[in-house]
Amino acid sequence: MSAETAFALGRATAERLRETAGRAPRIVLGVDTRLSGAMLRHAFTAGAVSRGAHVTYAGIVPTPGVSFLTRHEGADAGVVVSASHNPYQDNGIKIFAASGDKLPDEEEAAIERWLEAGDDAYPPVTGDGIGGSDRYPRREGAYRQHLLEHAPYLDGLRVGLDCANGAASEIAPELFRRIGARLQVIHAGPDGRNINVACGSTHPSAIRAHVLEQGLDVGVAFDGDADRAVLVDARGRLVSGDHILAIVARVRGDAEVVGTVMTNLGVERWMSDHGVTMHRTLVGDRYVHRELVQRGLRLGGEASGHVLFLDKAPTGDGLLTALQALAAVRASGRSLERWMDEIPSYPQILRNVPVDTGRKHATASHPEVLAAVADAEADLGTDGRISLRPSGTEPLVRVMVEGADSERIERYAARLVDVVARVGAAS
């Protein structure tokens, strides 16, 4: 992701929005805390303004905050410069529709067509046709108020926050203090390079250690752009997105929810025993969102802590997820520890297997790999599951094996990793 690419994408996005809106478009843009954010947001803005768009910069703000502000301000699109949970060297540009939803596939394809068009496809824009930019005057104030409307009062609950040195570093501590938490905050000092480094939701051991050392009631860890969150109970147990889904569904009375192929089988069976049907979809909040909309449901999510509350927001929001999880726990009259005692979680082994660049899809669908998966599934039967999928962003094949018997799943995971590695390295 270079400045040149960001400029071209800004130009292409503005042209596509002009096509659909029939006028100069308005865009809300936010960033996370990584070093390249300033460069890329200026480049994108320049490209969009060169085609007549007006870009409002919202500052360092969680990705779901941009989604909210796009809809709240009546903008034509929202743009986030962020690589989410990835290391600081990575970066990307996400685009939201005017509704605050992620762009549908056909709109992404339309922007890509403009991106691939040569300079001759763009008629000159000069004088009054050039757009402009400004800064959002209230920063994320409206977004903060939106979160407060869906927040419980914590009444002195001892809470630890791990902000991943990311976009939640300012807003999360302020929010939790306002709802009555006795707060301890770690990893809220971003320097452009420390986002997600040994902290946040991708490294929950940091908040776990802090909760145990300080004797806190609960810990919350966000990822770099704060679109996901996981919790830790007072005994240091990880409260994943699967557990959050189960607790919230049970307390709110949701009869159906959406999970993914990675949702823990033990959690799914517990929900089923308590009258909650779970529908599985592919990994990715895009697929969870699509399934929720198609089925007319409001609650779904992933183990990573990316949970969607479609009755409250159009996209996953780590801050909202944490607030809704704590609200459900308090409404139940039971401690988080009691919930975790009750909800079983089967052992689950996840291995990321490096493969040759360009071979991850071929490896995942190779006959030898599929045969090894079939053999393991036949032996595990209904007491286990296997998921094997190529990474969406890296030259990896992700192997997941889960079941009630940890020794058996360790054995099958090792076998599958060997097969995938051998096939993935073949010339």
Catalytically active residues are 84
Sequential DSSP letters for 207-240 = HHHHHHHHT-SEEEEE-TTSS-EEEEETT--EE-
257 and 299 Cβ atoms separated by less than 8 Å: yes
> Sheet holding 299-301: strands in order across?
277-281, 256-260, 299-301, 307-309
Token readout for 207 is 């908040």
Residue 244: helix, strand or coil by DSSP?
helix
Token readout for 351 is 């291995």
Q: Rounded to 5 degrees, what angle do the CA atoms 103, 108, 109 make?
A: 150
Q: Which residues of 306-326 are buried (b: 16+ CB within 10 A; e: fewer)?
A: bbbbbebbbbbbbbbbbbbbb
24 and 133 Cβ atoms separated by less than 8 Å: no
Amino acid, single-letter form, for residue 17: L
